Structure 1
Amino acid sequence: MNGPEIHVEFAPGLAVFVTSGRRRGPTALTTDGVSSLGHVVESTGVPLTEVGTLRVNGREVPRSYVPAAGDSVEIRAVTRPQQIPGAPLRFLLDVHLGTLARRLRLLGVDTAYESTDIGDPALATRSATERRVMLSRDRGLLHRRELWAGAFVYSTRPEDQLRDILDRFRPELRPWTRCTACNGLLREATKEQVADRLEGGTERSYDVFAQCQECGRAYWKGAHHEQLETIVANALAEVNRPTPPATPPRPS
């Protein structure tokens, strides 16, 4: 770019997306004089999915604002909890977030997941078609214009990923109502209804079952149930706690 120079300051939580020289304090940035502020922000590496309000010379401006020479720009992170207008809150996760997908489904959150790499264009199209929030650690994917909505997953640890998404979106939780394998809804089932899906030891040891209405998978309180109960209890505590001012966690 070769045009007006502006001064940009990024919210601390956005530092992961920008080069190290721009992470602390205002930094000079040369624009082309015609691009919108939204485009300028994206050119620094920050996906607009992570951007909240934009302030120029102390006043809030839309992303369509065209920066002028000498402008002082403040780029703030998304306000939490984030509201996604226009559709029920539903998620779509890419191939790298399988554990997070299963945990969201465990909590009863409508979560689509691609277990194979179908490519960024197909993921973005599905997000738009089904009006799902795209969750990903792929920064390039989150820059795609056709996305319905999106969010960067800041951590590589499933526990932190789940905590972050619950903090950011505060989805309604309905634990034990969705299939962790396919996202279908569960219903109570008798032992006889699921007998063909059970091994002998399970059939002898358990009497309470649920079954997915989509894929037919059977569920019962097996050896790992206590661990799952802990995940559910922690999640319920997370979404029910008071909401302090928050910034995205540091990436891991």
Structure 2
Amino acid sequence: MNGPEIHVEFAPELQVFVPRARQAGSVRAATDGFSSLGHVIESLGVPLTEVGALLVDGREVPFAHVPTAGESVTVRTVTRPQKVPGAPLRFLLDVHLGTLARRLRLLGVDTAYESTDIGDPALATRSAAEQRVLLSRDRGLLRRRELWAGAFVYSTSPEEQLRDVLDRFRPELLPWTRCTACNGLLRKATKDEVADQLKHGTHATYDVFAQCTACGRAYWKGAHHEQLEAIVERALEESRSNG
């Protein structure tokens, strides 16, 4: 686009996507008379999954608005908690977010995860087919048109990733109800039912077990339980404080 310019101001949270806006908070962008404002914003590097209200000279407009020369645009971030229409809130995570996937499952959040790279088109198609919010740090993936819904994961720290997702979407937390390996639902199980998965020390020490109804994996309060309990308690406390 090489036409007349518009002035675009970004919310502080969105300036990470537009390096030249980080100091001034705004940029000037060229218009061509037919590209939508949504297209212009994406061309500047901001995934539309991260954009909330768009204001042109103080009035709210849709992504389809075609900007004209001299307009002043304000780009706000999504409102929190973000409401996802339609299906119950479910997530799909790409191959780079395995730790986040396991922690969401630990909290009982329905979380699909691809442990191998199946490619952007397949991920976006699955998001649409299963009506799952795709979480990713890949901006290109979040721009795919077939995507049902998506969100950028801003941090590389699993702790911060989890905190941000829970704050943004406020999913219902049902800890200890899902398999962290496959996302299946857990049920109570007897020692005899899972005996083939237990080493001698575990068999002798533990009496309370759960088993995944999908993959059959057994669970008990083993050596890492205190660490997992801390993750759960912290998430529940933050959830209560967020109301």
**In structure 1, what is the Cα distance between the partners aligned to 2:69 and 2:22?**
19
Confirm or deny that 1:44 pairs with 2:53. Answer: no
Write the deviation string for residues 143-179 of structure 1: whole angstroms up to 9, x where unpaired: 1111110000000010000000000000000000000
Please tell me the residue identity of whatever aligns with 1:32.
D
Write the deviation string for residues 120-160 of structure 1: whole angstroms up to 9, x where unpaired: 01100000100000000111101111111000000001000
Q: Which residue of 1 aligns with 2:113?
A: 113
Structure 2: runs of 5+ lacking an equivalent: none
Deviates more, 1:134-143 or 1:17-26: 17-26
Alpha-carbon offset, residue 35 of structure 1: 0.7
**In structure 2, what is the Cα distance between the partners aligned to 1:205 and 1:43?**
59
Deviates more, 1:168-177 or 1:26-35: 26-35
For normalisation by structure 1, the TM-score amounts to 0.94
SS at match of 1:239: helix
**In structure 2, what is the Cα distance between the partners aligned to 1:164 and 1:214?**
29
Q: Which residue of 1 aligns with 2:205?
A: 205
**In structure 2, what is the Cα distance between the partners aligned to 1:59 and 1:23?**
25
Conserved in 1, the CA contact under 8 Å of 2:53 and 2:75? yes
**In structure 2, what is the Cα distance between the partners aligned to 1:22 and 1:205?**
56
Q: Which residue of 1 aligns with 2:34?
A: 34
SS at match of 1:194: helix
| Aligned counterparts, 1:125-140, within 5 A | 125-140=125-140
Q: Which residue of 1 aligns with 2:165?
A: 165
Confirm or deny that 1:88 pairs with 2:88. Answer: yes
**In structure 2, what is the Cα distance between the partners aligned to 1:19 and 1:113?**
31
Please tell me the residue identity of whatever aligns with 2:51.
V
Write the deviation string for residues 180-207 of structure 1: whole angstroms up to 9, x where unpaired: 0000000000001111111111000000
Q: Which residue of 2 aligns with 1:246?
A: none
Confirm or deny that 1:196 pairs with 2:196. Answer: yes
Conserved in 2, the CA contact under 8 Å of 1:189 and 1:211? yes
Q: Which residue of 2 aligns with 1:5?
A: 5
From the superposition, tell whether residues 25 and 157 of structure 1 become closer, same or farther in structure 2 (CA, over 3 Å). Answer: closer
Alpha-carbon offset, residue 116 of structure 1: 0.3
**In structure 2, what is the Cα distance between the partners aligned to 1:24 and 1:184?**
48
For normalisation by structure 2, the TM-score amounts to 0.98
Q: Runs (4+) of structure 1 moved beyond 3 Å?
A: none
Please tell me the residue identity of whatever aligns with 2:205.
S
SS at match of 1:162: helix
Please tell me the residue identity of whatever aligns with 1:150.
G
Conserved in 1, the CA contact under 8 Å of 2:15 and 2:21? no
* Cα root mean square deviation, aligned: 1.0
Conserved in 2, the CA contact under 8 Å of 1:34 and 1:66? yes
State the aligned residue count: 243
Confirm or deny that 1:217 pairs with 2:220. Answer: no
Conserved in 2, the CA contact under 8 Å of 1:55 and 1:61? yes
Confirm or deny that 1:71 pairs with 2:71. Answer: yes
